């Protein structure tokens, strides 16, 4: 059973950057679609980005142009590079994954079967 662990969160000023990492263990990560989600206090969880098995990426909320998702299957790791951060990006960020033979990714949290514990991102104004 695959497990994923997020890292890289922290406190940053508005306009700054962070790189989150999602590292997997227990399975061949290249067979998994990986998504990034976030949840701010008092708000619903929302999809941020996802990357397919073949490296096709999608962006949600207002992350396109500011965020870049990538994967290094040799390291069993998916990255989320976040630039030009805004205070409204403040949230707990979660990595999630599901295995598939297809090359697509999903913004729907219900598609994902494995979730990490999250890493906190705080952007100060």
The string of pLDDT tens digits covering residues 79-121 is: 999 999 999 999 999 999 999 888 888 889 999 999 999 999 9
CA distance 46 to 31: 24
Task: Report pLDDT for 113.
Answer: 95
For tokens 């059973």, what's the residue? Answer: 1
What's the mean per-residue pLDDT of the chain?
Answer: 94
Half-sphere exposure of 74 (CA within 13 A, CB side): 0
Whether the CA torsion 61, 49, 22, 80 is positive or negative: it is: negative
Task: Report pLDDT for 24.
Answer: 95
| Percentage of residues of the chain with pLDDT beyond 90 | 85
Give 54-70 pLDDT, tens digit per residue.
999 999 988 788 999 99
Mean local confidence (pLDDT), 30-56: 95
């Amino acid at each position: 059973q695959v497990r994923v662990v997020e890292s890289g969160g922290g406190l940053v000023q508005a306009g700054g950057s962070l790189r989150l990492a999602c590292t997997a263990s227990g399975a061949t990560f290249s067979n998994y679609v990986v998504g990034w989600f976030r949840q701010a206090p008092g708000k619903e969880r929302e999809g941020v980005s996802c990357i397919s098995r073949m490296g096709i990426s999608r962006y949600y909320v207002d992350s396109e142009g500011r965020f870049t998702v990538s994967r290094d299957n040799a390291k069993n790791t998916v990255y989320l590079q976040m630039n030009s951060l805004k205070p409204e990006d403040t949230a707990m960020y979660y990595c999630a994954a599901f295995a598939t033979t297809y090359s697509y990714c999903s913004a729907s949290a219900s598609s994902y079967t494995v979730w990490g514990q999250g890493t906190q991102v705080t952007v100060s104004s």
